[in-house]
């Protein structure tokens, strides 16, 4: 089989229909090496040409009604399944490692899907599976394709319109895995990040639905002390929302930290550029020239100037940046809404509404009513799902 055929060459397409997306750009075709072919065949389902792929995706959760597919809502799995169906020409079922809620984002959520590659020239003929690079590029193409409404609308057309691409989801990695590899049950640990922006100023347009805006100042040292109380092996019933389907509230929280980072988006200030150009030392000094020429020491340089003892200043037209804090939570698995409930407690400690003793009492209460209302979904990011993947997969 030639590289063009294996790479989805569309030189003999049928005329486009209203449901047919724009033409897929040709993917650089090449013959599979003997080693690649052996690896693909080794990971295929026995006695079939069905290949299971592990697929990592990133998405902005704002316009999704969660990850899990729903009949009448736009969901991550619904959009992804639709893209796969356009790619291979038949329905697929996709299983994800973490079923994020509406409004929650993902830097890398992982799912698996079984794909049987059927010849388009000879219907019924099963071909060798696509290489992962082909799957990645093709599915991303269909994720960006706009749905064209047909002249006659059916209930399925309405669902398809809900699943149309908004440019807020993308495949970032694909691997071939054995047929018994499950994205959810094979996960060794999951890492979540939660962003809080502290400051009185209204939230920037660029940060809308990307973080929790906390007008009060946050005491990061007290928040870190609270983390030391919550990390480890505990009964987390106080951090388990109603509707949780887990059989046990016992979990081991391997990591819970609070870190102050640069606000995003970050652009270099004049000071940053001067240091980069001339290799200056990391100490902060503000010259009269920088004060006159710089629209502001943008980025985190405002904080650097304040911390260095220099006189901070503000220039017209430049937004004062918020302080940005990231809560990192890492565990093999989490209870329903556990991370957002943990963040709510940490935030309350940071603002002074709760003490470390209060945190201990909330944990010991083993009742979610003892905890403050959970943090909003917009600040939560699924950062990474870790697996023990053999090097030859």
Active site residues: 101
Task: Look at strands 189-198 and 212-214 and give their pairing.
Answer: parallel
What is the distance between the alpha carbons of residues 335 and 249, in angstroms, rounded to a whole number? Answer: 7
Given CA atoms 336, 337, 338, 339 in this order, what sign does their dihedral have? positive
What is the distance between the alpha carbons of residues 33 and 1, in angstroms, rounded to a whole number? Answer: 12
Given CA atoms 153, 155, 158, 159 in this order, what sign does their dihedral have? negative
Other C-beta atoms lying within 10 Å of the C-beta of residue 125 = 11
Nearest to 376, CA basis, from 67, 101, 58? 101
What is the distance between the alpha carbons of residues 363 and 270, in angstroms, rounded to a whole number? Answer: 47
94's enclosing H/E stretch is strand 94-96
């Amino acid at each position: 089989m030639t590289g063009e055929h294996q790479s989805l060459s569309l030189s003999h397409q049928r005329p486009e229909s209203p449901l047919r997306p724009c033409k897929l750009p040709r993917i650089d075709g090449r013959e599979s090496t003997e080693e690649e072919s052996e690896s693909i065949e080794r990971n295929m389902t026995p006695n079939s040409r069905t290949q299971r792929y592990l697929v990592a995706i990133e998405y902005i959760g704002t316009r999704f009604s969660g990850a899990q597919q729903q009949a009448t809502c736009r969901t991550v799995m619904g959009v992804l399944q639709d893209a796969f169906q356009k790619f291979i020409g038949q329905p697929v079922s996709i299983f994800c490692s973490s079923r994020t809620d509406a409004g929650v984002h993902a830097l890398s959520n992982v799912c698996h899907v079984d794909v049987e590659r059927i010849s388009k020239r000879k219907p019924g003929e099963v071909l060798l599976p696509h290489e992962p690079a082909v799957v990645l590029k093709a599915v991303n193409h269909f994720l960006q394709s706009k749905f064209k409404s047909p002249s006659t609308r059916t209930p399925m057309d309405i669902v398809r319109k809900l699943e149309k691409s908004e440019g807020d989801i993308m495949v970032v990695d694909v691997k071939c895995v054995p047929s018994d590899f499950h994205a959810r049950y094979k996960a060794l640990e999951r890492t979540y990040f939660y962003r809080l922006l502290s400051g009185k100023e209204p939230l920037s347009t660029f940060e809308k639905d990307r973080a929790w805006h906390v007008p009060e100042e946050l005491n990061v040292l007290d928040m870190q002390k609270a983390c030391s109380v919550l990390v480890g092996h505990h009964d987390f019933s106080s951090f388990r929302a109603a509707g949780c389907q887990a059989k046990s509230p016992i979990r081991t929280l391997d990591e819970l930290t609070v870190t102050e980072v640069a606000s995003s988006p970050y652009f270099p200030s004049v000071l940053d550029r001067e240091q980069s150009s001339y290799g200056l030392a990391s100490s902060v000094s503000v010259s009269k020239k920088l004060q006159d020429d710089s629209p502001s020491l943008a980025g985190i340089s405002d904080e650097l100037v304040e911390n260095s003892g220099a006189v901070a200043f503000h220039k017209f037209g430049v937004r004062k940046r918020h302080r940005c804090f990231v809560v990192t939570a890492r565990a093999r698995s989490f209870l329903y809404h556990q991370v957002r409930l943990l963040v709510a407690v940490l935030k309350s400690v940071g603002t002074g509404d709760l003490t470390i003793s209060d945190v201990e009492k909330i944990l010991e209460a083993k009742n979610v009513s003892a905890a403050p209302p959970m943090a909003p979904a917009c600040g939560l990011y699924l950062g990474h799902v870790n697996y023990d993947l053999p090097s030859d997969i």
